[in-house]
Amino acid sequence: MDRSSLLQLIQEQLDPENTGFIGADTFTGLVHSHELPLDPAKLDMLVALAQSNERGQVCYQELVDLISSKRSSSFKRAIANGQRALPRDGLLDEPGLGVYKRFVRYVAYEILPCEVDRRWYFYRHRSCPPPVFMASVTLAQIIVFLCYGARLNKWVLQTYHPEYMKSPLVYHPGHRARAWRFLTYMFMHVGLEQLGFNALLQLMIGVPLEMVHGVLRISLLYLAGVLAGSLTVSITDMRAPVVGGSGGVYALCSAHLANVVMNWAGMRCPYKLLRMVLALVCMSSEVGRAVWLRFSPPLPSSGPQPSFMAHLAGAVVGVSMGLTILRSYEERLQDQCGWWVVLLAYGTFLLFAIFWNIFAYDLLGAHIPPPP
């Protein structure tokens, strides 16, 4: 029986008067008597949801959301306030798991702060579609770096090569009218050290986040950090170019770290304090390196070196937009008031940055280096 037939049967037999509510015990009997193909984990969640209701009933729309693998904020609150927590044992007690399932369990404990959410993710996770966005971005960045490294015969501090800034991918203030550069600069990197740092974080943090929260949400967060990075540089460091995917990387990392801090007691990832300190030290060191290269270039250059402001802009996007996304696991973002506030703030910033790039450079008489 498919999903639509199941929902039609439930409504006809359990809610013929269209009251909008269904008794949990009656529904459980229907499942067993008709051998309906409902995930046992979902059935457990239904019972927990009903137990949080004084009359032992569940809203029909909540049942539809559950069967459709979509949970509203009211559903999550009902589960959290239920008389019994889902489920009986922790995921760490699951025996006989294969390699991939153990990896899925590892991801659940790395990313999610609540045991209910971890079990929900573990039992409904499917390997298709795979987390293709972060892997594809990382692969594309490596390919572009190898191509330019072979072409320029330079693998470290590539930005000092006179031909590097001529790339159509680099953001340069003299080429602001070429709007694609505000995003495509993420494929270019200063050198092997920056590429290695970004690629490592994208795979270690970005891929697990994409597995849990999906390609749409994580790609939106990453690209929002990238775009905010170049636009922030165009406002605060008007003479500087930008290269590297640090805006998107710092958006992902800052969102994840902020989510861990805000859910510290519920996170079950091992050595979380040590890992938090190491992550902050590495991220701060990368920002410090970018500041050093911007203001004290170790080699003679024909113009300003890439700005570090994209790192900071990405971190701000991560703490604001990213934290809202990560805290809304399996909830509809459009139902979250905070999501609309964040979107409004980001949209206001975009409009301001667009007008700034159109008018401010001429009005302020900014002396930008000639485009390569």
Q: 91 with 118: CB under 8 angstroms?
A: yes
Which of 143, 164, 168, 170 has its CA nearest to residue 243?
170
In terms of pTM, does the model score above 0.85?
Answer: no
Tokens for 203, please give them.
């795979």
Give the SS3 label for residue 149: helix
Please write the tens of the pLDDT for every residue from 91-145.
666 677 788 888 998 898 899 888 778 877 887 788 778 889 999 999 999 999 9
Is residue 5 annotated as a catalytic residue, yes or no?
no
Which 8-state DSSP code applies to residue 203?
Answer: I
Q: Which of 256, 311, 320, 328 is catalytic?
A: 311
Which of 238, 205, 195, 226 has its CA nearest to residue 317?
226
Is residue 311 annotated as a catalytic residue, yes or no?
yes
Q: Which of 167, 246, 254, 328 is catalytic?
A: 246
**100-131 in b/e burial notation, b at 16+ Cβ within 10 A?**
eeeebbebbbbbbbbbbbbbbbbbeeeeeeeb
What's the pLDDT score for residue 48?
60
Per-residue pLDDT of the chain (372 residues; tens, 9 = 90+): 555 666 566 656 666 666 666 666 666 666 565 555 556 656 666 666 555 555 666 665 566 666 555 554 444 544 444 433 444 455 666 677 788 888 998 898 899 888 778 877 887 788 778 889 999 999 999 999 999 999 988 888 888 888 888 899 999 999 999 999 999 999 999 989 999 999 999 999 999 999 999 999 999 999 999 999 999 999 999 999 999 999 999 999 999 999 999 888 888 888 888 989 999 999 999 999 999 999 988 877 777 889 999 999 999 999 999 999 998 887 788 888 899 999 999 999 999 999 999 999 999 988 888 877
What's the pLDDT score for residue 80?
46
